[in-house]
Structure 1
Amino acid sequence: MNPEAIPFKSAMTNSAILHTASHERTNVLLKTAVAEVLSQSHSSSANILLDEGAQRSFITEDLARVLHLPVTGHDTISLASFGGMSQGVRSIPTSEIYLKSETRDLIKLEVLVVPTIAVPLQNIPTEIRHLDYLRGLKLAHPLTEHNNDLFEISLLVGADYYWDIVEDRVIRGNGPTAVKSKIGYLLSGPLPVSGHRTTDLHMLNVISAPPSTFEMEKFWQLESMGISSEESTDGTSGNLQEYMCNSISFEDGRYVAKLPWRDYHPTLPTNYDICKRRTEATIRRLSQEPEVLKTYGEIIADQLKGGVIEKVDQQEDEHTVHYIPHHGVKKDSVTTPIRIVYDCSCRQSRDQPSLNDCLMSAPPELNDLTGILLRFRMHKYAVATDIEKAFLQIGLHESDRDVTRFLWLSDPSDPCSPLTTYRFRTILFGATCSPFILGATIRKNLELNSSEWHVVIRRGSIHFQGFRDHADDVKKSRRTVEKVNHTEIGVNGGSDRCPSVPTYHTTDRTLRCVLVV
């Protein structure tokens, strides 16, 4: 805190604000340029950054749309960010453009198309024109009256084409260095220090009198800026909307979903060796209790019969292949004494990722739980229901099934029989993204089957994989149940009577007698 700082009195909020100033900063220029780029049919001006630190050249999707660039292929590359210890693998579309030089020659560039390249840079200040050693040079980045605006990068030229553009002549002086290129002189380096001081400003609000409620709300909103999450107006995040549109489809009477992969996830290993070792260990452990081994095998057989899993005949596939180990967890249940758990967090080694490491771990889009609980307490009767085997009702897209492979006995009655490869045809319980996929599928189903009743459900009654409602009399609650039974709130596409919502719970004994479906 600066002891010489002068308090500033605010008449509106009656608060004291203390100002402090810090050290001087010097701006540094990077090699930027503005030049014309062309495709086979269109041309446009591009804001260019030339960077030897990048191995490849990139173009933004916005500029690619302006140029009507066709996709010429896809490159799978490893991207590493500054300060990062790992690399992410991503498949990126490629295209070709032409950069027009000062002599109107065209320089061909193969570029990768990405949504954005970098945050905007500070433009070159117009004071540069007063430096004597730069006078008479044609700069690749022209100085205009708009140079106080930020410089949005639309094309990055990396080391693959850098020396096809940059030439040998270098001019030095009391300021940034000028390097000759085929599109003009490029400036880079620190700007000369001027009398103007760039300072950091630190503020401390000391409330000396009780402000109004509005002012207090505004104060805490400002205090939480950048900390609290912004709520979308429709209660749905942009990631969820994009996933619902592009990754969930309705095929053959059921919803089919793709796994939400991370954009820069590392290469997923097969995990075959560790999966085989752990499966064999599970079989040896289960063999000590033959009845439990038999039940374990029956569960897998039932999943195969019900279309939850399928056998894999071929051992290689064009898609990424990954094996998941599994083990049994005992339950205090007479009908199902053991439950199979699939370990999607299994790593082949400490330095290699698991399946969950490569998937988005976004939480499910939930209605406000506080609102659900409060509405539950406002009426005399409450009704709740669950969706039966919700995850297993959603099909897994063909392109993602091979990352859910697992091994099991070809003959469950013989612990020494060879292992057979299976894979999931549905969303499996154990993947970090499964709750998110379920919530997105339910929400999409409600939006596609629009009705007054669906609007009521979307406004606040759905929570994860269940439905809750409340009423003040038995008849109204019974009507609610009848509407739910004839409403497609399930994820299996629905029918006249939705078979995915079989279990009801209620707070009233009389009402419980009529909730028999």
Structure 2
Amino acid sequence: MLLDTCATANFATIGLVNKLQLTPSKCCFSVGALDHLTTTVNGMVSITFKSVYNEHKRTLNFLIVPNISDFVPNQLIPRERIRIPKNISVADPKFHVPAPIDMLIGAGVTLSLFSIGTINLSQDKSDLYLQNTRLGWIIAGDLEYSKKSITVETSDCLFTELKAMVEKFWSVEEILTERSNFSQEEIECENHFKHHVTRDDEGRFIVALPFKSTRVVLGESKQNGLKSLNGLLKRFENNSQLKTQYTAVIQEYLDLNHMSLIKSTQNSEGFYLPHHAVIKESSSKTKLRLVFNASAKSTSGTSLNEMLMVGPTIQDDLFSLLIRFRFHAYVILADIEKMYRRFLIREEDRK
């Protein structure tokens, strides 16, 4: 156990917690160390410790960290050179032997453990003292007295290893190029795309609708589509400008070959997409857009959307896009006009 008159919290190592078979409670604390280094603590545990010389004991909460410090002391100390009175009971009889630190006691508790009694063991310009505590006598100070025979190479105090902290930083900040946590449906949808995507002679992509394996039969949807269309036609009677804009958009679909007239309306098999207008006056290009409602229910209570698998999100998120603006002085923006309408649906799925 290390008594620290500067620390503002108590710490215990994961190794000690496992050895005592304790069950930690979850927490999240940011712990600052030297030179603005920080680490995050995710667990807390309650531990009771007791003096080996008397009945004094304390129960404290400890934050759990991987390591507290390297071995203390960092080298074997010749005990015969320290003149400890024979009637003194040292709290740690093996204080001179390097050993790992399992617990660190913070300043408040440390000061409360101090008792009356100090013995000066300083010699050869050293500052070495015996301090009486409720746990027994402890030794504190430096090793100047023995530098002629002992070379202290390092002085370490660490809450986390720098290497592990840097690796953790990069793993958290890295933008993954390939997701590994796809759902089963996302995996199946991506495989479906890979097996069915083709290109025609002009280079246009042809895709297949990703129907779920447990395909449900769609009910009749033509009547709902006609009902939606009749409501739209009534709006046209009261709003000639809406009719003009709507007609222009439908004509554009025909001119660009983005839709075609079905040969027969006798067979209602398939799905009829209701559509309506969304008007955006602030748009510089298209003030009116058509929105097709694939979530409209058929007579079986099922919609087209409910029959299709949902694929994974493969484009960069908004943060990744925005952060690119910090890399260069100039930014070029471009738009693929009517991008989704440039994809062809394979003929057997068009219905």
Give the alignment's TM-score, normalised by structure 1: 0.34
Higher strand share: 1
Larger Rg: 2
Give the alignment's TM-score, normalised by structure 2: 0.48
